[in-house]
Structure 1
Amino acid sequence: MIIQDKIKYTDELSNSITYLENLGYSNIKADLEGYESPKSYHKKGSKISVTPDIVAEKEGRKHIFDLSLKSEKPRLLKSKWLFLSTLSKIKSYRFRLITTRGHYKFSNETIDAINLDNIKLLKI
């Protein structure tokens, strides 16, 4: 999810964190009040920064999660997902998208548009 959508979808973010805790993820960092914020990545020479929505660990492996919800700026969302996917491949992390009912079609169309076939969707 992008910065403009964070206020709109805070409930979905907290539900996703609860879901991940129930699945056994630990050391959860989230871009939400009450949790430690995950590491941000800044683009050199500009004011653009990318912060994953949720970062958690399970079985000694780091997982990056991003919420896949309908957005006003899908192009910005696509570039964020491409960056996080590339980062996770370089650092041997796992990258997953979390989506909820009513957002499945948007998620699948966006994934197909940027050719991220190896991304798994967690449907809550």
Structure 2
Amino acid sequence: MENGILTEGQQKDTELIEKLLDKIVKKKGFENICANAEGYETPAKIRRGKDNDEFFIPDVTGEVNGRKSYFELGMKSGDERQLVTKWRLLSTIAELKHGKLYLAVPRGHMAFTNRILADYPIKAEVVKI
């Protein structure tokens, strides 16, 4: 697992990423899957800004019918501002590529995820895992 902004801070569990891959990504027929987990090619890094060396790494990316979608684990974070920035950026990029942002939410994180989506203009499909 490669570390970008938030990757280390959230302690993303490889087991949850595998669950995300099995229950959502593969089930929906996505191809060219990249995941920030062992055994997969790491998704492309997305720079935070033009003159900034910081970058975000999506948890999973995949394509279906030439449309690229992004998948993130929707989990509580101590740095809410960075999380919102990442989700807004991924949502915008997905929209430009005619795809979607999917937020896979494990048990205990749904209220937090729904609050973020209600408070900020982020287009995302929420899926329980």
In the other structure, the counterpart of 2:112 is: 106
TM-score for both structures, normalised by structure 1? 0.87
Which of 81, 91, 98 is equivalent to 2:87?
81
> How big is the shift at 1:70?
1.2
- Structure 1 gaps of 5+ residues are none
- Structure 2 gaps of 5+ residues are none
* SS at structure 1 position matched to 2:63: strand
Q: Distance in 2 between matches of 1:29 and 1:6?
A: 19
Residue identity over aligned pairs, in percent, reads: 31
> How big is the shift at 1:8?
4.2
Which of 13, 18, 21 is equivalent to 1:17?
21
> How big is the shift at 1:79?
0.4
Which structure dedicates a bigger proportion of its chain to helix? 1
Q: Distance in 2 between matches of 1:8 and 1:66?
A: 10
RMSD (CA atoms): 1.9
> How big is the shift at 1:6?
5.4
Mean Cα displacement is larger for which, 105-114 or 39-48?
Answer: 39-48
Mean Cα displacement is larger for which, 23-32 or 33-42?
Answer: 23-32
Which of 31, 45, 51 is equivalent to 2:51?
45
What per-residue deviation string (whole Å, max 9, x for no partner) do you get for residues 45-83 of structure 1? 222102211101224422111110111211110000111
Which of 25, 31, 36 is equivalent to 1:26?
31
Q: Distance in 1 between matches of 2:6 and 2:71?
A: 13
* SS at structure 2 position matched to 1:4: coil
Q: Distance in 2 between matches of 1:85 and 1:104?
A: 18
